[in-house]
Structure 1
């Protein structure tokens, strides 16, 4: 199959993944409300998972269909792009990237903890069920802390129940099926593009899939910044990164051993740790990211991308 056709398939399936994930999350929220599930639980689970669902789906399909390096690349690459790319571009476009000290202490520290734990297991060799169990346990602790924090702001935790309706349930099922199918096609086209163009799968995961699956967040940030209406929360980005690592790698590693590329240990993981620390440092003073700091983050990402491609080719 020609590279042009594969690229068209890749782009089409990418749009399908993003749209299917968006519809699925909306319908799950509707069903949760109808069943009387706590607003707190919906907020810290569905909302967090929703922004990471394209990355998670792509990573899961990659690992379970025999392209584990692609899956690891999606997770790590997406996290680096979220922090250095999306936050950097948002700040450059005068989009206020805000936070508070609680978010830095909680989400920042858990973000660092998650990548440090993953890095430790990556040093040990292939990522297996033990790593998955540890990562999922850490996410469980993080979830409990979030729920406890949310309870301080709500006096009522349950939403009045109701009937979700067959249309809502059917749409949720169909959108989930669509998400799986589109993710499968996305991963297939990515693998084929890598083969035809002789590009390592890890590179495709780190950049094409990682940036592609985060495209929705980037578009929202850019469009909002153009209208001077953007306020991007650092906690949201860090929360998404935490989910990507602890769930995005934790869940598939329970079923399949994921090989670790040496360059990921010595370059990708350290870069992710570094940009997380840099952003936390930048924002600790006045809880907001300035334009010049956004430029620094974007330059770091460009240097990282160039270095990663050069050392792989």
Structure 2
């Protein structure tokens, strides 16, 4: 067993003991819950993806299909767990703030870092998918024009994602992955699901309590600290992919995760409970801005270290705005 897995288990046990004994009664414990919960979420998602890929490769599913479905859903499990649980507990600002904040983080921070690390050459599919992301982003805001996403809006968003995945079948299939025996795949899936569940619960509790202690809105914590924590799988995947010159993975991971966040995560959260959304929030403005400029940059091939640095500056500006304006 790797040292990371040992640390994961120890933090998992410690967080569980604290949660079921003393709860989140102090600021220090709230910080611990946020950090430990984020780590558990990332490792839980990692276990889930490993298990899912092992099972998929066992039956010979193509890399392309796995990457755009199972892996995309797997890296978005932290967002899914936090937003759905937050919606269930009626912390609706955390529910939608995490999704919108994660999408902004994915584009400005993660794609920005990737562009700095390596000169990315986006494929035509990446450009098409970024346009799909743009259209779905504006459509989501259109659904919330009455000030909320209702359960039927949630079902519609989920339907959009299913339709998007169905349309992928028309793309030229990549080579099939080699079949494996999928050793310990079911165990990895189980550990991943449990880890994501516990991690999501601890992060939600920690974030809400930190917001109360600091006297800031839940939306600020959700769109910054929580969103950054849940975007760690995408961050690591895209940077490593960029370093290894896997440009398709670096860009596709970001765009695919954003589509999952909008359609599946926000959709399921709205199905659980209607989500009031403040369309005048600075978070929404940055969300639409980043969704709008990404396809233009990919289409015009304005991809360079200068663009990456510009994205990082915009991300810092985003953080400053949500805490100063909200």
Q: Which runs of 5+ in 2 are unaligned?
A: 1-24
Q: Which residue of 2 aligns with 1:76?
A: 100
- State how far apart, in whole Å, the 1-side matches of 2:98 and 2:112 are: 19
Q: Which residue of 1 aligns with 2:51?
A: 27
- State how far apart, in whole Å, the 1-side matches of 2:194 and 2:317 are: 38
- State how far apart, in whole Å, the 1-side matches of 2:227 and 2:100 are: 8
- State how far apart, in whole Å, the 1-side matches of 2:181 and 2:239 are: 37
State how many pairs are aligned.
300
TM-score (norm 1): 0.86
Q: Which residue of 2 aligns with 1:100?
A: 123
Is 1:138 the counterpart of 2:160? The answer is yes
Q: Which residue of 2 aligns with 1:15?
A: 39
Q: 2:213 aligns with which of 185, 196, 206?
A: 196
- The answer on whether the counterparts of 1:39 and 1:159 sit within 8 Å (CA) in structure 2 is no
- The answer on whether the counterparts of 1:78 and 1:206 sit within 8 Å (CA) in structure 2 is yes
Post-superposition offset of 1:34: 3.6
TM-score (norm 2): 0.83
Q: 2:322 aligns with which of 300, 304, 308?
A: 308
Aligned to 2:120, the other structure's residue is in SS state strand
Q: Which residue of 2 aligns with 1:268?
A: 283
- State how far apart, in whole Å, the 1-side matches of 2:240 and 2:272 are: 40
Post-superposition offset of 1:159: 7.7
Q: Which runs of 5+ in 1 are unaligned?
A: none
- The answer on whether the counterparts of 1:111 and 1:241 sit within 8 Å (CA) in structure 2 is yes
Is 1:55 the counterpart of 2:70? The answer is no
- The answer on whether the counterparts of 1:69 and 1:261 sit within 8 Å (CA) in structure 2 is no
Q: Which residue of 2 aligns with 1:247?
A: 264
Post-superposition offset of 1:111: 0.3
- State how far apart, in whole Å, the 1-side matches of 2:118 and 2:299 are: 18
After TM superposition, list the pairs within 5 Å mapping 1:168-183 onto structure 2.
168-183=185-200
Aligned to 2:52, the other structure's residue is in SS state helix
- Mark the CA change 1:37 to 1:289 in structure 2 (over 3 Å): closer, same or farther: closer
- The answer on whether the counterparts of 1:115 and 1:269 sit within 8 Å (CA) in structure 2 is no
Q: 2:146 aligns with which of 124, 128, 132?
A: 124
Q: Deviations over 1:227-269 (max 9, x none)?
A: x5454432321111011000011112122111112433xx323
